[in-house]
């Protein structure tokens, strides 16, 4: 297992870093204040190839490996969480699901334009009354000839008002005694009759991102838009979360780094009691913890990326990454505010935004409590991952660039 970054990895990180510094940094503070995503962010990320970074070239992507996806997410969240959220939703929760589960026709119709940044994807799992208990969702899709009639509402959906396609999970087989086998997944186009959507405002964090709701009222979905077999919706959704959690965890490592860098800069210039505050041991303790958590989180996401490259199941390792890194990022941002003192409580400095942004990741894509239960279940032998009919393809440089 070699975690040495290739020249291509280094170059991609530089491209993303330059994009963040030159094009995002001048706008992000005002975007957060106005609670709106600048209209140029999504198209620009598409132009840079980020929205198809680890999709094979034959499907419109850049053909990089899964480690590259983690590196991109770290760099984007180093600037602002809203940028990483785009990768989590468009790539982790939607496009990689199409790569894993989609038919060739579905890949050509939906994956190719998404990988090229011409269309945007989102993921519909959470509902107004359903979060962690996925099997209890209320959305339904009943057969009607060769189509399905879809009804339901999804809530807290990132890119709700921006995306062109939503991967929607609904109940199709209510008579099945196993509630996990009652669900199916569908690709729904947001311009179809019966689809409505809107934004949610007043969020604590990720204010520069798009979050909203999507409703389907008697939406006719062709059977060829079902992703996977009927009854495989739960498995599709869980595989999506494996990929989404990888992007959330690697992104959270970037937020730890941002908090650390801001703290180092302030601690080396601010003086108290006749010396720089960085020379006080309690401040050093806070910074040392950030260093520790950054290194541990980065090693874990590189490990998960390596496992994905090998085609290895990584649900356990990805859960651990997501749990650790998101908790650590919130703690790092909180300590960064403490180091900044009263200035940290003001949006004059970025650390207060880091804290607000970090809080959401402890909730979405599996709460910290869910991941604690998962890790305990693995350790005690109570939990075993069920086999999937389709696995995310291992990275093969020859075929990825074919």
The predicted-structure confidence for 334-388, as pLDDT tens digits, reads as follows 999 999 999 999 999 999 999 999 999 999 999 999 999 999 999 999 999 988 9
**What pLDDT sits at residue 134?**
85
Domains with residue ranges and CATH for the chain: 7-120 (1.10.540.10), 123-232 (2.40.110.10), 235-394 (1.20.140.10)
DSSP 90-104: IIIIIIHHHHHH--H
Tell me, what DSSP letter sits at residue 87? I
- In this prediction the pTM is 0.96
Exposure on the CB side of residue 340, measured as CA atoms within 13 A: 25
Alpha-carbon distance 147 to 223, whole Å?
A: 5
Tell me: pLDDT of 255 over 90: yes
From the candidates 365, 369, 391, 397, which is the catalytic residue? 365
Six token digits for residue 393 = 């393809």
Tell me: pLDDT of 3 over 90: no
Tell me: pLDDT of 1 over 80: no
Residue identified by tokens 């509402």 is 153
Which residue, among 359, 304, 352, 350, has the nearest Cα to 20 in the 3D structure? Answer: 350
Strand stretches in 223-261, DSSP E:
226-227
Question: What backbone torsions phi and psi does residue 92 show, to the nearest 5 degrees?
Answer: -65, -45
**What pLDDT sits at residue 135?**
81
**What pLDDT sits at residue 2?**
81
Percent of the chain with pLDDT over 70: 100
**What pLDDT sits at residue 132?**
81
CB 95 within 8 A of CB 166: no
**Is 365 one of the annotated active-site residues of the chain?**
yes
DSSP 269-293: T-EETTEEGGGSHHHHHHHHHHHHH
Tell me: pLDDT of 165 over 90: yes
């Amino acid at each position: 297992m070699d975690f040495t970054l290739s020249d291509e990895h280094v170059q991609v990180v530089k491209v993303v870093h330059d994009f963040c510094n030159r094009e995002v940094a001048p706008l992000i503070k005002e975007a957060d204040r106005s609670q709106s995503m600048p209209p140029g962010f999504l198209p620009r990320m598409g132009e840079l190839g980020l929205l198809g970074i680890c999709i094979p070239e034959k499907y419109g992507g850049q053909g990089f490996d899964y480690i590259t996806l983690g590196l991109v997410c770290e760099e984007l969240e180093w600037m602002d969480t809203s940028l990483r959220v785009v990768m989590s939703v468009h790539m982790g929760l939607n496009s990689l699901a199409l790569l894993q589960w989609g038919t060739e026709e579905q890949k050509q119709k939906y994956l190719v334009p998404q990988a090229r940044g011409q269309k945007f994807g989102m993921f519909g799992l959470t509902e107004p009354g359903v979060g962690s208990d996925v099997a209890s969702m209320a959305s339904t899709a009943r057969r009607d000839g060769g189509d399905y009639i879809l009804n339901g509402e999804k809530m807290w959906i990132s890119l709700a008002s921006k995306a062109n396609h939503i991967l929607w999970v609904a109940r199709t087989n209510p008579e099945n005694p196993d509630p996990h086998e009652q669900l199916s997944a569908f690709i729904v186009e947001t311009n179809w009759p019966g689809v409505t959507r809107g934004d949610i405002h007043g969020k604590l964090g990720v204010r520069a991102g798009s979050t909203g709701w999507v409703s389907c009222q008697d939406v006719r979905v062709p059977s060829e838009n079902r992703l996977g077999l009927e009854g495989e919706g739960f498995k599709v959704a869980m595989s999506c979360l494996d990929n989404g959690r990888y992007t959330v965890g690697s992104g959270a490592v970037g937020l730890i780094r941002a908090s650390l860098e801001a703290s180092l800069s302030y601690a080396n210039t601010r003086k108290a009691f006749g010396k720089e505050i960085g020379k006080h041991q309690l401040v050093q303790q806070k910074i040392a913890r950030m260093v520790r958590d950054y290194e541990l989180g980065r090693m874990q996401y590189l490990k998960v990326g390596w496992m994905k490259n090998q085609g290895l199941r990584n649900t356990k390792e990805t859960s651990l990454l997501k749990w650790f890194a998101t908790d650590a990022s919130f703690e790092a941002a909180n300590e960064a505010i403490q180091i900044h003192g009263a200035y940290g409580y003001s949006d004059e400095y970025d650390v207060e935004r880091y804290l607000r942004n970090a809080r959401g990741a402890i909730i979405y894509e599996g709460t910290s409590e869910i991941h604690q239960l998962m890790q305990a279940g693995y350790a005690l032998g109570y939990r075993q991952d069920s086999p999937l009919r389709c696995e995310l393809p291992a990275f093969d440089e020859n075929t990825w660039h074919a």
